[in-house]
Each structure stands twice: as C-alpha cells, then as structure tokens.
Amino acid sequence: MDLHRKWKIVRVVLTTFYLMAGWVLFTAALDPLMLGLGLILSFFVSLLTFKLFIEKNEVDFHSLLPRIHYGVFYLLLVIYKMYVASFKMLWLIIRGRINPRVVHFRTRLKSDIARVALTSSITLTPGTVTLSLDDDHLIVHWLDAKTTHSRYAGELVKGVFERLLKRIWI
Amino acid sequence: MTWIVLLFLVLGVVFNIMGNLGVLVFPDVYTRLQASSTCGTTAVFSVFIASMLITGLSVMTAKILVITLFFLVSSPVAAHIVARYAWNKDMVVWRKFHD
C-alpha cells in the first residue's frame, strides 16, 4: 500500500470522526439506530468531501490536532477583545472623527490554518478588516490608525493573537 | 439572572442600531463594512449569549453553542470576502486630509 492511499484513508477517517461529532451534537440521540445511521451517512459524506476538508499537503501533525486548552483560552480572549473594541467603535460612530488607513505587515505563523485563524480574528475585532492575505503578508484596513509603521502597527493589531496562535498550532 | 439576560439583549439592540447608523454616517466601502459587519457580529453574539443564559443547562444550550461557534467562523469570512473584492477592484481608500 503506497503512501498516498494511506494518507487518503486517514483523511476519510478523520473527516468521518468530525462529521459524527456534529451529528451527535445536533440529534442528541444515543440509541444504536440513530448512531448507526449517522455513521453511515457521515462516511458517505466524508467520501465526497474529504479532499476539501483536509488538504492533500496538510500533513503536519499539529495542524490536524491543535492544543485545545489553549484554544479555549484564545476564544475567550477574542470575545473579550471583541466587546472592548465594539465600545470603542460606538464612540467612533457617535463622534464621527475617524482616521482610516491601510497598513501592511508580515506574520511569523507557519501553518495555513493558523494564518486563516489570525485573519479571521483580526476581522472579528471591530476596527480592523483584513483586505488580503498572501502567504505571510497581510493587508489590513484600520479604522482609527495610530501609526502606519509596519512593525509597530503589526504589534498593535495582531500582537497577542499571534503569540497565542503560535502555541496552539506550533 | 434575568438582569444579565436583559443586559445582553440591550447590548445586542444597541450594537445593531449603532452599526446601522455607522453605515449611513461613514464615507466609503471599507469604513461602512467595518461598521456593519463587525458591530453586527457583536450584536448577534450578544443575543446568542442571552438565549444561552435563558435556556439554562440543557441540550438546547449545546446546540446554540455550536451555532455560535459556526457563526464566529463564518461571519468574519463573509466580511473578508467583501473587503477582498473591493480591494482587488482597486477601490480607493478614503482618508482624512490634515489642513
């Protein structure tokens, strides 16, 4: 059995596992009939979608199994930052004095999924929207820009997020 | 408990109204997108938290939690797609000129 086929089987099994978890959460029924039906259905769906769900070149162990306990902490941090920035946003809308700028900076994160998570959390925080992500180069629209200096702006926008994401996906 | 639920519902309403006001006030695509998408996200999130608190500890809460997590993933992606389209179409970013 060659390496490609093995990796394909692993991907199908992992996708089935994730789909099954979703099935159990949404049906909330634990009798064998429902579980069996869920297993069969998620296996067929995973046969169709495993190529999209786990990319062929995504063979890093840590990108498939992130460290969940840091992830929960990260989620709480993002929600806290979201609320703080929303109140700042309210003040900006009332006052009407904005200073929008486009800032460019680079990220040190290596894996694709960590970069996507960083992009999403920057967009989720009010006041900053990611315009483009090209390899490690991010272009961010900042509503109330303090600076346009690349390194300083990067520290203000992504500082804490990047340090935590590095621990989740190495 | 009722007061916390009320607080989150009021937060949701306030963020939603101010986000819509921001769409009317701000000058160009990007700033309007900031106001609508991000304030809208916080508003919907507040309503989800309020509904989770009101249902208490049950299966329904877990379902709402899953919906909230999916929303946290999908909402910034939608905002990013709109912003990326505008950026790739070379729309000029509005900026304040100091006089």
Tell me if B19 is assigned to some domain: yes
Look at residue B99 and tell me if it is in a domain: no
Place of tokens 């709109």: B82
Domain-embedded: residue B96: no
Question: Which residues of A fall within a CB distance of 8 Å from B80?
Answer: 119-120, 123, 129-130
Contact status, residue B83 vs residue B30, Cβ threshold 8 Å: yes
Q: Is A46 exposed, middle or buried (0-12, 13-18, 19+ CB in 10 A)?
A: buried
The tally of domains found in chain B comes to 1
B32 is written with which tokens? 């309007």
pLDDT over threshold 80, residue A152: yes
Residues of A in contact with B70 (CB under 8 A): none
B6 inside domain: yes
Of chain A, the percentage scoring pLDDT greater than 70 comes to: 95
The lowest-confidence range among A50-64, A108-122, B35-49 is A50-64
Q: Where are the domains of chain A?
A: 3-59, 68-168
pLDDT at residue number B85: 92
Q: Quote the CA–CA distance of A115 and A170 in Å, as a whole number.
A: 12
The tokens for A121 are 């959390």
Q: Does the beta carbon of A123 lie under 8 angstroms from any beta carbon of chain B?
A: yes
A114 vs A57 pLDDT, higher one = A114
Q: Answer whether B39 sits within 8 Å of A89, measured CB to CB.
A: yes
Q: Do B39 and A123 touch (CB under 8 A)?
A: no
- Give pLDDT, residue A32: 87
* Amino acid A105: pLDDT: 87
Quick check: A119 and B84 in contact, CB under 8 A? Answer: no
User: How much is the mean pLDDT over chain A?
Assistant: 85
Neighbouring C-alpha atoms within 13 Å toward the C-beta of A143 = 31
ipTM metric? 0.86
What's the gap in Å between the CA of A82 and the closest CA on chain B? 7
Interchain pair B38, A102: CB under 8 A:
no
Residue A63 has pLDDT above 70, yes or no: no
Q: Quick one: pLDDT at residue A154?
A: 82
Three-state DSSP state, A7: helix
- Both tokens of residue B65? 């939690």
Per-residue pLDDT at B9 exceeds 90:
yes
d(Cα A56, Cα A50) in Å, to the nearest integer?
Answer: 9
Please give the pLDDT value at position A60.
67
Nearest Cα residue in chain A from B77: A120
Residues A128-139: tens digit of each pLDDT:
888 888 888 889
In whole angstroms, give the CA distance from residue A133 to residue A138.
5
B76 domain residue, yes or no? yes
pLDDT one-digit tens code per residue, B42-54: 999 999 999 999 9
pTM of the predicted structure, to 2 decimals: 0.83
The burial of B64, by beta-carbon neighbours within 10 Å (0-12 exposed, 13-18 middle, 19 or more buried), is given as middle
Q: Is residue B54 assigned to a domain? A: yes
Query: Once rounded to an integer, what is the mean pLDDT over residues A150-167?
Result: 84
The share of chain B scoring above pLDDT 70, in percent, equals 98
Q: Give dist(CA A113, CA A63) in Å, integer.
A: 7
Query: Side-chain half-sphere of A106: how many Cα atoms within 13 Å?
Result: 4
State the pLDDT at residue B26: 86
Give the pLDDT of residue A69. 85
Q: What is the layout of strands, in order, in the sheet containing A101-106?
A: A101-106, A137-142, A128-134
Chain mean pLDDT for chain B: 87
CA distances to A46, A57, B74, B98 from A15, in Å: 6, 16, 19, 54
| Separation CA A15–CA A21 (nearest Å) | 10
Residue B97, domain member (yes or no): no
pLDDT of amino acid A151: 84
Average pLDDT of B48-71? 88
Instruction: Write out chain B in H/E/C secondary structure.
Output: CHHHHHHHHHHHHHHHHHHHHHHHHCCCHHHHHHHHHHHHHHHHHHHHHHHHHHHCCCHHHHHHHHHHHHHHHHHHHHHHHHHHHHHHCCCCCCCCCCC
Record: contact A143-B34, CB cut-off 8 A: yes
| Per-residue pLDDT tens digits for A64-103 | 667 888 888 999 999 999 898 888 888 888 887 788 888 8
pLDDT band for B98, please (50, 70, 90 cuts). low
Domain extent, residue B36, equals 2-88
